[in-house]
Homo-oligomer: A and B are copies of this chain.
Amino acid sequence: MSMSTEPSRRIALINPNTTASMTQLMADCVGAVVDPATEVWAITNQHGPASIESHTDEALAVPGLLEAVRDAESRGADGFVLACFGDPGLDAAREIATGPVVGIAEAGFHAATMLGRSFSVVTTLARTIGQAEHLVHRYGFADKCRSIYACEVPVLELEDPASDARKLVVDYCRRAVEEDEADSIVLGCAGMADFCHEVSEQVGVPVIDGVTAGVTFVESLVKLGLRTSTRSEYAPPLPKEYR
């Protein structure tokens, strides 16, 4: 709890898709995990697809996402979480933002590897498995990822009580633990942020939501005074003529 009216730090939690109800769901989840002196701004992308379920969706979400980063930066954000499991726009956001930027797949994988030797991922549509596999390699965790499953529930149906999303997620988590010997599970969609405690209780291993993990990791980096390196690759982009 902070008694001053001014928070000590501000974290922009950006939903790369344009569905405000998903942004709200995430905002509800992160409140419990941050320091009382940390303010979290939950922001919905203003330009792009309603959900991100393909490389094309990712590509079309990024320009709006970068605008949201720039805007939050100008309003004083100290750190940024990009809350779509494909981690779209992460490299570009690191160029634009001064404070640290973390993707939720990245955060989920980092958390998982601090809790055991191995993890599996349970995600939404099978067509996104390739991107999850790509990210597992990119971040260095290929030897630690046992399997990636898709429950084939579209992102926007996750919250539909008529969908059997939660049951399917539990089923695949069980399979990952029992057949693939995963020590933990990373949930592969920001829209599953509120599933993790319930699923963890049912399958008996840690179940990680990248949204909350990402927010606490960015908060940590901000407290540590750490920012993205501006040595070369992630320096602010050169001014450029755009058509």
Contacts and interface: CB of A to CB of B under 8 A. Distances in A.
B114 A102 contact: yes
A233 B129 contact: yes
Q: Which 4 A-B pairs have the closest CB atoms?
A: A140-B140, A216-B220, A130-B233, A183-B229
B51 A111 contact: no
Interface of A: 1-3, 18, 32-37, 46-51, 53-60, 62-63, 66, 89, 91-92, 94-96, 100, 102, 106, 110-111, 113-117, 126-131, 133-134, 137-144, 154, 177, 181-184, 197, 204-206, 208-209, 212-213, 216-217, 219-221, 223-235, 237-238, 240-243
A235 B55 CA distance: 10
A57 B223 CA distance: 30
Contacts of A53: 237-238, 240
A128 to B, nearest CB: 8
Contact of A3 (B1, B94, B205): B1
